[in-house]
Amino acid sequence: MVQEEVDFREEEILGKAYDWRLMKRFLHYLKPYKKAIALTIFVLLLLTGAGLVTPLIMKEALDGPIPKALSAIDKAPYIKEIFFLSVLYFIALCARFGLSYAQILLVRLIGQGAINDLRCDLFAHLQKLSLSFFSKNPVGRLVTRVTNDIEALNELFASGIVALINDIFVIFGIIIIMSLYSWRMTLIAMTIVPPLILIAIFFRKKARHYFGEIRRRLARLNAFINESFLGIRVIHMFEKQGERSSTFKTLNQDLQNEQVASNFCMAIFYPAIEVLSAFGTCLVILYASYSIGKTVTLGEFFLFWNLLGRFFGPVMDLADKYSFLQSAMASAERVFKIMDTEPDIKPPADGYTPSKIKGEVELSDISFSYDGKETVLKNLSLKVRPGERVAIVGPTGAGKTSIINLVARFYEPQQGCVRIDGVDVRDWNARALRSALAIVPQDVFIFYGSVRDNISLWDKSLSDEAIREAAKIADADDFIRRLPEGYDTVMAERGATLSVGQRQLLSFARAIARKPPIIVLDEATSSIDSETEHAIQEAMENMLKGRTALVIAHRLSTVEKCDRIIVLDDGKIVEEGTHENLLKNRGLYFCLYRTQEGRL
């Protein structure tokens, strides 16, 4: 499957306020919590009932004991009744408190459980994706998917789905109670619903426009901030702080302008709802003023007045959550888009797993392109015998690192095949293939953790003795023992407290610890100075002893002792031989070597 080109503006994409397709996928993660959800809905019903019973109690008090107590000579029995209703009112309030606590707790526990499952699935899926996916997607964006976007879905459940269910219960409960007591007053009160719907539709269109513009401008501002911090060295180098600040002010002002326009929209909506609410209440008061004592009691009037105030609560709540629902749906779309991305490379379930690996590597008639347009390797064939040390050199962009990517099956060629010990790498078990190879990259990545963990990479099967032995072979043991806690010393982020040479020695130890039959050095010494390079040459010799080695090198002085040197240019092998023979041929290798020696 060819992966689609990534839209680097996808942070600006605005989701629908409601998308059943995405909601259905999210609800799948709530299935394990069906019983807890059923309990939550039951609690919501009780909570709605407890909330609506308080105005009913007040209605009974206004229609019963209160007016009777005012006119009666013996007030005692009515005071007892008022006291009883007061106790019921207090019990209802306590019930609301307890039910609210239970509802919030249940919703949070369910939401966090489902979100934990989704986050684990997303992270596990990301780990399975091919390197081509990560080359097209910035790390910061992927971190946002696993953290912020997932957390937005948690709020979608807690503040979206559950709140919507609660609002529906409240609205229907209010309409039912009002209809039971006075269908005439209910019809009068409901006359405000049509204009309310029109206002909501108008607000929805305007709000979507403004929220979309705010999101786009905020995404551009975030991208600019990220770019500025990543390129801060260049900005300081060329004294461009003023220009960047000026651009930032412009982008920030654009964002503020849209936020102000959005505030005007919100400022119109809320008063409009308040006016409608007041108008509905006025209609009820007007009708009640002519009907109290005839068809409407004082308690019923109070009941309608109270319920009408509560009726508009869910409407206002929906307006408050509209922008959030759009944002949550956009987050859901981005998360599930990643979940739907299939890895380019799918190892077979029952792949080849040899008991012993010789270390033969063969590339047969390979043609390869990263983007399907520009061919990096062209009909290339190469065979490396077990135990042979082969260097691959050439100018920048010749295709040296691409060969390593294909041997490790990080990518797949469009033509030809790569074999290890005569077996196509596409038929190998993924774990077996990775254990056959150890790659020492140019940029060594040091994980946060102990030196021991950075060498073993959390492999529990490696003993402390094996880790120390690997470090000794890599000439890393001496400097590790000088660290404050030795092998237990916790490394700073990306190994910031280590020198470039020390990080390189650690990467050698990491490769040796796995005892791979094939080792690949990918420009392993290109980022260190000549003095440090000479210091680690012995470590490299120890590491490569008795193993098949592919040495990708820019510094030709590091490949002079290799059994064979392959010279690449424009994706093709243009020369092949030993260091001495290639110098005698006076071809591309000779030109590269003379250029480097001249610089020295």
Per-residue pLDDT tens over the stretch 341-375: 888 888 887 888 888 889 899 999 999 998 878 88
Which pLDDT score, from 0 to 100, does residue 597 have?
66
- Average the pLDDT over each of 118-127, 171-180, 289-298, 469-478 and give the range with the smallest value: 289-298
Note the CATH architecture for domain 361-599: 3-Layer(aba) Sandwich (3.40)
Which pLDDT score, from 0 to 100, does residue 192 have?
82
**Mean pLDDT computed over 92-102:** 94
Where, residue-wise, is CATH 3.40.50.300 in the chain? 361-599
Q: How confident is the model at residue 534 (pLDDT cuts 50, 70, 90)?
A: low
Helix axes 298-339, 76-128, angle to 10 degrees: 10
| Sequence-distant (≥ 6) Cβ neighbours of residue 545 within 8 angstroms | none
**Mean pLDDT computed over 229-245:** 83
Determine which helix (DSSP H) or strand (DSSP E) holds 431, and give its type and residue range.
helix 430-436
Q: How far apart are CA 463 and CA 305, in angstroms?
A: 76
Q: How confident is the model at residue 1 (pLDDT cuts 50, 70, 90)?
A: very low
Percent of the chain exceeding pLDDT 70 equals 92
Q: How far apart are CA 583 and CA 575, in angstroms?
A: 11
Structure-block tokens of residue 421: 């010990």
Read off φ and ψ for residue 406, nearest 5 degrees. -80, -40
Q: How confident is the model at residue 2 (pLDDT cuts 50, 70, 90)?
A: very low
Structure-block tokens of residue 282: 């006025």
Reduce the DSSP state of residue 379 to 3 states and report it.
strand
Structure-block tokens of residue 567: 């010279």
Q: How confident is the model at residue 599 (pLDDT cuts 50, 70, 90)?
A: very low
Where, residue-wise, is CATH 1.20.1560.10 in the chain? 10-339
Structure-block tokens of residue 342: 């299939």
Which pLDDT score, from 0 to 100, does residue 322 have?
66
Q: What is the per-residue pLDDT across 471-487, written as a single tens digit (0 to 9) for each? A: 888 888 888 898 888 88
Tell which residue, 422, 415, 420, 417, has the closest CA to residue 433: 420
Bridge partners of residue 188, in order along the sequence:
none
Structure-block tokens of residue 300: 């019923």
State the burial class of residue 598 (Cβ atoms within 10 Å of its Cβ: 0-12, 13-18, 19+): exposed
CATH code of 10-339, in short, is: 1.20.1560.10
190 vs 19: which has the higher pLDDT: 190
Q: What is the per-residue pLDDT across 295-322, written as a single tens digit (0 to 9) for each? A: 778 888 888 888 887 887 777 776 667 6
